[in-house]
Amino acid sequence: MMQQNQPNIKESATPNTGVIENQESPIIVGLDIGTTKVAVIAGRKNEQGKLEILGFGKANSNGVQHGDVLNIDLTIKSIQQALHNCLKSNPQLLIEEVYVGIAGKHIKSLQTRGDIVRQDAETEIQKREIDQLIADQRRTFIPASDEIIDVIPQDFKVDNIQNIKDPVGYNGVKVGANFHLITGDKNAIRNINRAVLKSGLHTKDLVLQPLASAAAVMSDIDLEAGVAILDIGGGTSDLAIFYEGILKHTAVIPFGGENITHDIRMGLGVLKQQAEALKVQFGCAIADEAKANTYITIPGLKGLPAKEISMRNLAQIIQARMTEILEFISYHIKQIGLDEKALNGGIILTGGGSQLKDLRLLTEYVTRLNARIGYPNEHLAPNQIAELRQPMYATCLGLILKGYNDYESKSKEFSKQTNIVQVPEGLISGIKTEVSKENTAIRQQPGTIKEGTRFWDKFKNSIIELFKEEDDPIIK
């Protein structure tokens, strides 16, 4: 029988690709540590190449500010609660390794160029040569306080042949490429890894959040047309620009939904909780669209009279901050030598902040680009939980797709060793878990599903409970 606080679960000797593998494809887990929420999603591709969600958990985020982990202990508790909820939705999951999103104002990007001269020009270029070329870019000089998070090839050149997407199979003397390097502060990266490790998990890879979101909401047509992805989160707004089929630019804008909430709180003189409720329930991104003579009644504190909030004033506060965020998009597009005519795909808005009323219209007005809301439906299998199709989960679903990209391209070696998962004592404090002998046997064979059970129906019913929102008594 599994012990309550210190279970030892032996994993079968199968590739461990972000957690579990079955006979079809691995089950990969994404962990999104945001400023307002922490989400854990486990997914697996079906025969049609679409993601089936096999586990989900979320929790309020504490200890994170503007995308940076500041209080590790509080962040650990949030991760553990989200992990517990994920395992509660599907007790058959064995979660050991996760793909983790990273953002924050410390994130920077730069362009580099690399070349290698081959000894034998008559033989075809091998993948190991390209891997070495990419690895060489990690020796690029950057400030001592920073660390390279990712090296992304943009386009290759073999001798005089340019704009090659994949040079493997070509032959030539000289192979070169342009690269997009993403760097971050060492201490910020260390804090994320430490919080994940102390939560009983291992970071398989760190992925820049706008790239994860882009993978979830963008199609091949968008990539070809040229598009900007703006993920509006709680603490930051993350930008990724694609042009001519390649990643041209990434940026982290240090403003998000929390800044809007703060502006409302200060501008209208209400509590933070009231400001958040005003934004979500009555917020509008264009002041002219708000009703001028409509007011919202806020209950007074401790016998004080109720406060009347103008819908027009609320919209003016929101519009001012959102305009500032959107102006960053135009700035970054010009910084890389493009204009609105170059991005035929326009702007895709995603993340929790993208659900603000009339935001699409404001985006088109400020940037002069077509805009639409990006839902993570492109890669999801039919009949999944409807709430997971919301923009706020684009990053977490994109992390799963990143894991599959690693798995399918074989760009990384996945462990084939037998592992013993040690869950630290107190991982899920105060929660009693009873596991039957039958269920324990299932857990010892990760990726299997108990025969004779309607797995999806049970999972669906359990996960729906996690999305039930409490009634908000604040606004009348």
Q: Where do the domains of the chain lie?
A: 107-184, 221-375
CA distances from 410 to 167, 225, 406, 413 (A): 16, 28, 6, 7
Average pLDDT over residues 1-10: 30
What are the tens digits of pLDDT across the range 42-89? Answer: 999 988 889 999 999 999 999 999 889 999 999 999 999 999 999 999
Class of domain 107-184: alpha beta
What are the tens digits of pLDDT across the range 399-440? Answer: 999 999 888 876 444 443 333 334 344 443 433 333 333 333
Q: Which two tokens stand for residue 105?
A: 């104002």
Residue 316: band (very low, low, confident or very high) from pLDDT cuts 50, 70, 90: very high
pLDDT value of residue 233: 93
Can you give the length of the chain in residues?
Answer: 476
Strand, helix or coil for residue 259: helix
Q: Please state, in angstroms and rounded to a whole number, the distance separating the CA atoms of residues 205 and 101.
A: 9
Q: Do domains 107-184 and 221-375 have the same CATH topology?
A: no
Q: Please state, in angstroms and rounded to a whole number, the distance separating the CA atoms of residues 200 and 81.
A: 12
Nearest to 95 by CA among 160, 189, 21, 169: 21
Residues 6+ apart with CB under 8 A from 457: none
Q: Please state, in angstroms and rounded to a whole number, the distance separating the CA atoms of residues 56 and 38.
A: 11
Average pLDDT over residues 13-40: 71
What are the tens digits of pLDDT across the range 98-145? Answer: 999 999 889 999 999 999 999 888 899 998 999 999 999 999 999 999
Average pLDDT over residues 211-217: 95
pLDDT value of residue 383: 83
Pick from 101-110, 230-239, 382-391, 453-462: least confident: 453-462
Class of domain 221-375: alpha beta
Exposed e or buried b per residue across 309-339, where buried means at least 16 C-beta atoms within 10 angstroms of its C-beta: bbbbbbbbbbbebbeebbebbbebbeeeebe
**What angle, 0 to 180 degrees and rounded to 10, lies between the N-to-C axes of helices 359-367 and 311-335?**
40
Q: Name the pTM for this structure.
A: 0.80
In contact, 62 and 74? CB cutoff 8 Å: yes
Residues 6+ apart with CB under 8 A from 264: 270, 275, 278, 279, 314, 317, 318
Whole-number percent of the chain with pLDDT over 90:
67
Q: Please state, in angstroms and rounded to a whole number, the distance separating the CA atoms of residues 321 and 328.
A: 11
pLDDT value of residue 439: 36
Q: Please state, in angstroms and rounded to a whole number, the distance separating the CA atoms of residues 203 and 402.
A: 13
